[in-house]
Amino acid sequence: MIKDFEHFAPKTLKEALALLAKYGDDCKVICGGQSLLILMRQGLVDPKYIIDIKGISELNYIKDDKDGLKIGATTTHRAIEKSPVIRKKYPVLAEMETRLASIQTRNWGTIGGNVCHGDPAGDPVPVLIALNATLSMAGTKGTRSMPVENFCLDYFEIALEPGELLTEIKLPVPPPRTGTVYTKFNVIESDLATVSVAVSLTLGSGDGVCQNVRIALGAVAPTAIRAKKAEKVLKGKKITEALLTQAGEVAATETEPISDIYASEEYRLELVKVLVPRMTKEAMARAKKA
């Protein structure tokens, strides 16, 4: 049962930040409520004041220019999935969204809310890590930004300071000959990942050598992680089946999976060993066509 709370619906970022500063630890930000309301219903979170940022239109946008893509924090999953520019230039983002929950949840849930929920099994963060995204935050003291891979600190813990809001997600323009792919293994379609893998791979011009690669894993550690040792196995080399197998095995050593109702620790490790080579191959095939 959700306890009574006072609800504010600011229309500007400035108003929202002032409310956050005023109510401090007694308040909680809500956007789509797809994650927060579950926690409130379970009695895990019990705010006296709710700052509802869903109506702040200045945070709801998808912009594409020569510097890359910018997505406002209150943009819904469904808007990202349907965006023509994202489908054309960052197709992996739209593909990821089609696997996230149901259309109903995607219609109301937001990318900013998802990232700030800090669930290690969430879909967007591994993809954003693979795409080398940067997050922007605003507070009454000013703005700052950080790579998305530094944002999640522990299970459901993120690097926002008190009084701050996530405002924007920025993606750089992918280098030429880059392919990015994402998959999640889950038991029930539209459910959270049992294990997820995102790979972004850039090929050298004409030589087929892996110039750069970013491998991100979800649901195998307290946060989504980058498998940097596995990336090292591949970077600067012509990719062979043996190297792919090695990358999968090395990636598994970088994880700390748990056993839960969906899968055992051992099963998750096996999934990493299988999915990392498979998705790297797919990223390479996409890079060849890019």
Q: Is residue 116 a contact point for ligand FAD (CB under 6 A)?
A: yes
- How far apart CA 245 and CA 87 sit, in angstroms, is 31
Q: Is residue 110 a contact point for ligand FAD (CB under 6 A)?
A: yes
With respect to ligand FAD, which residue has the nearer C-beta, 83 or 114?
114
Q: Is residue 105 a contact point for ligand FAD (CB under 6 A)?
A: yes
Site for ligand FAD, residues 202 to 241, rule: CB under 6 A: none
Stretch that binds ligand FAD, among 24-32, 61-69, 222-230, 281-289 (CB under 6 A): 24-32
Minimum Å gap between C-beta 56 and ligand FAD is: 9
Smallest CA-to-CA distance from 150 within 223, 254, 199 is with: 223
Among 64, 81, 97, 123, binds ligand FAD (CB under 6 A): 123
The helix/strand/coil state of 119 is coil
Smallest CA-to-CA distance from 155 within 119, 124, 122, 111 is with: 119
Stretch that binds ligand FAD, among 28-36, 82-90, 258-266, 273-281 (CB under 6 A): 28-36
> Which stretches does DSSP call E strand in the chain?
6-8, 27-30, 49-52, 62-65, 68-72, 134-139, 142-147, 152-154, 157-158, 165-171, 178-185, 195-203, 210-218, 225-226
Which long-range contacts link 64-70 to residues 24+ away (Cβ below 8 Å)? 64/89, 66/173, 67/170, 67/172, 67/173, 68/170, 68/171, 68/172, 68/173, 69/170, 69/171, 70/168, 70/169, 70/170, 70/171
Q: Is residue 272 a contact point for ligand FAD (CB under 6 A)?
A: no
With respect to ligand FAD, which residue has the nearer C-beta, 69 or 100?
100
Site for ligand FAD, residues 56 to 75, rule: CB under 6 A: 73
With respect to ligand FAD, which residue has the nearer C-beta, 77 or 177?
77
Q: Is residue 93 a contact point for ligand FAD (CB under 6 A)?
A: no
Cβ-based neighbour number of residue 49 at 10 Å: 16
Q: Is residue 168 a contact point for ligand FAD (CB under 6 A)?
A: no
> How would you classify the pairing of strands 195-203 and 210-218?
antiparallel
Number of residues located near ligand FAD, criterion CB under 6 A: 30
Q: In what order do the strands lie in the sheet with 195-203?
A: 178-185, 195-203, 210-218, 225-226
With respect to ligand FAD, which residue has the nearer C-beta, 133 or 239?
133
Smallest CA-to-CA distance from 183 within 201, 195, 200 is with: 195
Minimum Å gap between C-beta 203 and ligand FAD is: 30
Q: Is residue 122 a contact point for ligand FAD (CB under 6 A)?
A: yes
- How far apart CA 101 and CA 29 sit, in angstroms, is 22
Among 33, 55, 139, 222, binds ligand FAD (CB under 6 A): 33
Q: Is residue 280 a contact point for ligand FAD (CB under 6 A)?
A: no
Q: Is residue 36 a contact point for ligand FAD (CB under 6 A)?
A: yes
With respect to ligand FAD, which residue has the nearer C-beta, 12 or 190?
190
Give me the residues that bind ligand FAD (CB under 6 A), please: 28-36, 53, 73, 77, 100-101, 105, 109-110, 112-114, 116-117, 122-123, 160, 165-166, 190-192
